[in-house]
């Protein structure tokens, strides 16, 4: 059997995407790693890794990259929609333009790749699409509502896509990470700030705690997370849902609680004031 061809978005070195790239390559796959800037992927050394520039918010770039991979390889076996961005802050304080940018990357970027790749996979009646959501897309926390809502949309989209792609022979997996060590929070440094007239200035300690939660001691190393995900992805029958990472178990437990109790519990974790 020919090597599996894998296309992954959001592969900046230091992130979850980069760890997935390395792991798929180690498993013998040909991996096309993409990011907006090619130099953001400097450091990949495995001979099975190729890099391409891709901004998932640009429709023409999405089709250009997908066509390029298909032209070179004649197939795409696995698509991982990993590109994403954070949007910390109280919902009413996040500028509308930032909200739009978050959805353009997290939701519409995922949708664009799916629309471009599904017809290619359907030709061979095989393939796997992995959409990266978040435990925050299942139960949101304070101070990260825009991000959580965008991931909730990804979750809904993925579940529907799994139903619609089944008759085409294509598997779809929703990947819901908990806390994984990456540059996710670091990318917020120097970018996030509360408006001077924010109604929530007193809650800044709680907001900053939320910003760095995913990188605390319970955070799972990205390479360990990638090992688990790729192991599931390369099974004969990959699951339609997989969650792992720090705090993922408590989110699983909370999914059985009354909704109001789960939301109250998460409020108590991030309601610190100055």
The pLDDT, as a whole number, for residue 200 is 98
Place of tokens 């770039």: 61
List of residues 6+ apart from 74 with CB closer than 8 A: none
Give Cα 63 distance to the centre of its chain.
20
- The reply to whether the predicted model has a pTM over 0.85 is yes
Q: What is the pLDDT of residues 3-18, one digit of tens each?
A: 999 999 999 999 999 9
Q: Is 71 a catalytic residue?
A: no
Asked if 175 contacts 84 with a C-beta cutoff of 8 angstroms, the reply is no
Residues 6+ apart with CB under 8 A from 206: 142, 143, 270, 271, 272, 273
**pLDDT tens readout for residues 145-198:** 999 999 999 999 999 999 999 999 999 999 999 999 987 656 555 568 899 999
pLDDT per residue as tens digits for the range 80-114: 999 999 999 999 999 999 999 999 999 999 999 99
Give me the catalytic one of 32, 147, 203, 270.
147
Cβ-contact 80, 17 below 8 angstroms: yes
Known catalytic residue at 147: yes
d(CA 215, CA 199): 27
Distance CA 215, CA 191 (A): 17
The count of C-alpha atoms lying within 13 angstroms of the C-alpha of 129, restricted to the half-sphere facing its C-beta, is 33
Q: What is the pLDDT of residue 180?
A: 96
Give me the domains of the chain, ranges plus CATH numbers.
5-269 (3.40.50.720)
Q: Which of 32, 151, 251, 270 is catalytic?
A: 151
């Amino acid at each position: 059997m020919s090597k599996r061809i894998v296309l992954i978005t959001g592969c900046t070195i230091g992130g979850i995407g980069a760890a997935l790239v390395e792991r798929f390559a180690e498993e013998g796959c040909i991996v096309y790693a993409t990011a907006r800037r090619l130099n953001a992927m400097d450091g990949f050394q495995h001979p099975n890794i190729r890099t391409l520039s891709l901004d998932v918010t640009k429709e023409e770039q999405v089709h250009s990259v997908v066509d390029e991979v298909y032209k070179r390889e004649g197939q795409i076996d696995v698509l991982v929609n990993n590109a994403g961005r954070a949007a910390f802050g109280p919902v009413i304080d996040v500028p509308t333009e930032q909200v739009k940018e978050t959805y353009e990357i997290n939701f519409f970027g995922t949708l664009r790749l799916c629309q471009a790749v599904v017809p290619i996979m359907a030709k061979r009646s095989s393939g796997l699409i992995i959409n990266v959501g978040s435990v925050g897309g299942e139960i949101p926390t304070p101070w990260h509502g825009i991000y959580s809502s965008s991931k909730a949309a990804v979750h809904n989209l993925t579940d529907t896509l799994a139903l619609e792609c089944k008759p085409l022979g294509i598997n779809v997996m929703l990947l819901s990470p908990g806390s994984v060590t990456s540059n996710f929070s670091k990318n917020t440094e120097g970018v996030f700030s509360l408006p001077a007239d924010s109604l929530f200035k007193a809650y800044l300690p709680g907001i900053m705690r939320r910003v760095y939660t995913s990188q605390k001691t319970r955070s799972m190393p990205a390479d360990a997370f990638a090992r688990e995900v790729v192991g599931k992805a390369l099974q004969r029958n990959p699951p339609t849902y997989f969650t792992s990472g720090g705090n993922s178990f408590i989110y699983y437990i909370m999914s059985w609680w009354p909704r109001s109790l789960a939301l109250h519990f998460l409020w108590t974790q991030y309601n610190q004031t100055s």
